[in-house]
Chain A
Amino acid sequence: MDNTLNQAEVEKIEHDLLNHITHRKKVHNIWLGFLLLVIAIGIFAYYRQLRYGLIVTSMRDYTSWGVYISNFVFFVAISLVGSLVSSILKLSKAEWSTPLTRLSEVIAIASIICAAIIIIVDMGRPDRFINVLIYGRIQSPIIWDVIIIATYLGLSVLLLYTSLIPDLAICRDKLTTVPKWQQKLYRILAMNWKGTPKQNAILLQISTILSITIIPVAFAIHTVTSWLFSTTWRPGWDSTNLGPYFVSGALMAGAAVIVIAMYFLRKSLFLKEYITLSHFDNMGKLLVLLSLVYLYFNINEYLGPAFKMVGVEGEHITELFTGKYAAMYWLVQIGGLILPIVVLIFKKARTPFPLMVVSFMVILGAWFKRYIIVIPSLQHPYLPIQDVDESYLHYIPSWEEWAITLASFGGVLFIITLLLRLFPLIPISETIHEKSAKNSAS
């Protein structure tokens, strides 16, 4: 450990950043209880879906991918935040992002777990999921998606764990008042960490390899997800632009999620000294940059088909621009994309509360964007069924679908909350190291 910080300063940092583990508030338990209630309602709805079949949903032969799949795409998008902050910003030496790395890794793991679960929920016969692994065709993008999700989850867990090791050693040494099982957990997971030069060298090697490896895998996970659509013959999906369009949208949504998490955790865990105004300012700028990239791909995505207005593709565009999905479409494009860019150009908007509100708009826009990517396309097949049943032409999710969707959000927040109850939110060791380096530099 660097000696440029005195013992009292080090202890203060450790105390500040471990405080939320040792001092649990009643409100945190109420929050967990609330999440469990939301999850329980979702489980009941899923029980009904298993008992009576997918008929309890509003999905029919046309809209066979409903709110579950749009939610899955949203969670996959959010999971990209882990690679954005922990790898891209870290490798580009953006040291200001250090307090946000763990938060982004935790969000990535929670959302990818729930994305995997929601795919199984979407299956009419989940007991047959094992057949996907046994008899899956390697030619199918669905199999690629299964492989890449498992790989990304494995890498994300490793990324979180390896960055945690020095902090786990601090937890092992300092948190002597926590329950025995928790102490044992820290002892086992800390891997005899003592900060020896050899241990530091191995950890540096591991973190560098992981930071580099996770970037192509992260890009692949959302690109492969986009291929699920682009390899299916439907209007709106028949596009070579879909891969980068999905990835850029995911990075934007991920950045917005980080801002919202920063805002609430900074307040509730008293971390104003560590998550500062400059973090919000930087994240605001990053959000503008990512939104501009996403806007570029949006223009690419819609301009061509809207200019040509060919056949069913034209019908699809008309439905989005002026039809029954127009309100949602324009709210998403203006409220969730253009307005945030315009607003966040101003420095005052890049302060915590306005930035949180704008990020919330971005997230809302991102979720509904997935909805309008999935649903309207399915309602305009190239080969429509003759005398099709009226119910196939509309899709309004049933209460079971909404309950399960909300439960999946509850699941993400539950996993995040649980991990943050056990582990430090801000990397302690790195914070001490960086503050020491700053002190010695000045």
Chain B
Amino acid sequence: MKIFVPYSLAGLLLLTTCLNSVQAKEKAKIGLSYLKTGAEQRQLTVEVKSRMDNRYQPVEGLTLGLYLENDSESELLGNVVTDAKGKGILMIPSSFISKMNEMSEFNFVARLEDNDGYTAKEKDLLIREAFLDVDYIIRDSLKLIQASVKEKDSLGNTVLPTVDVEIKFLVERPFSRLPIGGKYNMLNKEGKATIEFPDDLPGDSMGHISVVVKIEDSDVYGNIEKTGDVIWGVPTVFDDATIKRTLWSAGANAPYPLLVLVNSLIAAVWGIMLFILIRIFHIKKADN
């Protein structure tokens, strides 16, 4: 009995420690998305969150492996480390691009290995390859943007139009992208969607406008984006109000009367103070 008690306590302590170490591991929630901006430019973005203080918060500093898998093999595309927002981006290496160009579907996997802080977890993403083309057409003085989307069949032999998928048309503005066209623009049976470009959009001083056409967050195709430049904007005459000397402009453009007034007052009062200081030293010398 005397031997049993200390051994039991030690065992209990060991068990508690083990349980605590197991309980201390967190479960990560992994998000994985795909973006294609050109035949040679494709990227994968992972986002890792974990439940802390009753809400999901980004996890920084986790390393995840990103793989391209098929039935027989799993190839490592690269590793990413999550940033302060819990995100990690991998540009798919060119060595894989040529191989991917021959495929019609990709199965990506983001894998978190078991480590001190988190249990192992993985997230897969199945993407069907699609090809986005954009044409800028002027017809009867109307400016049109036409997007065409095609995809390969499951065998990868025939190219077919992609239908019934929403496509977005946007123009770059200083702080965000402005949607143009209808509220919903769906691809028709020919895999095309056409919108009329508004004729009152301000461009730069020459009328240049950057147009973005994209399929966004599609469960089948992921994100596909194509950017183009058109000279269809209204040339903007640069408004120099912000560099005029006004009360509400930047400090460097303060109105002259205000500058003169404030600086004169400062110079006058601080000048008097300087004079007083000099006179105080005169007191020191006038002691006889």
Contact = CB atoms under 8 A, between A and B. Distances in A.
Do A and B associate with each other? yes
B247 interface: yes
Contacts of A155: 269, 273
Contact of A194 (B249, B281, B287): B287
Contacts of B254: 137-139
Contacts of B1: none
A360 interface: no
A202 interface: yes
Interface string A180-219: 0000000000011110101100110110011001000100
Contact of B279 (A135, A151, A205): A205
Interface in A281-338: none
B133 to A, nearest CB: 43
B280 A191 contact: yes
Interface in B249-288: 249-251, 254-255, 258-259, 262, 266, 269-270, 272-273, 275-277, 279-288
Interface SS of chain B: helix
A154 interface: yes
B248 interface: yes
Contacts of A193: 283, 287
A192 B281 CA distance: 10
A162 interface: yes
Contact of B276 (A138, A162, A191): A162
Given A138-B251, A138-B258, A139-B258, A206 B266 contact: no
A144 interface: yes
Contacts of A135: 251
B286 A209 contact: no
Contacts of B288: 194, 196
Nearest to B261: A138
Interface in B230-247: 247
A297 B262 CA distance: 28
A165 B288 CA distance: 16
Contacts of A161: 280
B269 A151 contact: yes
Contact of A158 (B247, B276, B285): B276
Given A139-B254, A155-B269, A191 B283 contact: yes
Among A162, A194, A196, A206, chain B packs the most CB atoms within 10 A around the CB of: A206
B286 A158 contact: no
What class of interface size applies to chain A in its complex with B? 20 to 34
Nearest to B282: A202
A112 to B, nearest CB: 15
Nearest to B249: A139
A24 B250 CA distance: 55
A213 B259 CA distance: 21
A158 B259 CA distance: 27
Contacts of A126: none
B276 A210 contact: yes
Contacts of B276: 158, 162, 206, 209-210
Interface string A34-69: 000000000000000000000000000000000000
Contacts of B281: 191
A206 B284 contact: no
A147 interface: yes
A199 B286 contact: yes
A202 B283 contact: yes
Contacts of A137: 250-251, 254
Nearest to A203: B283
A194 B284 CA distance: 9
B272 to A, nearest CB: 5
A196 B284 CA distance: 11
A154 B283 contact: no
Contacts of B273: 151, 154-155, 158
Nearest to A157: B273
Contacts of A165: 280, 283
A124 interface: no
A33 interface: no
A205 B282 CA distance: 12
A217 B68 CA distance: 74
A135 B249 CA distance: 13
A209 B276 CA distance: 8
A354 interface: no
A163 to B, nearest CB: 12
Contacts of A198: 286
Contacts of B279: 202, 205-206
A165 B269 CA distance: 22
B248 to A, nearest CB: 7
B286 A202 contact: yes
Contacts of A151: 266, 269-270, 273
Closest 8 CB pairs of A and B: A137-B251, A198-B286, A192-B287, A191-B284, A138-B254, A139-B247, A191-B283, A192-B284
Given A151-B266, A162-B276, A205-B279, 4 more contacts: A144-B262, A155-B273, A165-B280, A192-B284
11 contacts: A137-B250, A138-B251, A138-B259, A139-B255, A151-B270, A191-B283, A192-B283, A196-B288, A202-B279, A202-B283, A203-B283
Interface of B: 247-251, 254-255, 258-259, 262, 266, 269-270, 272-273, 275-277, 279-288
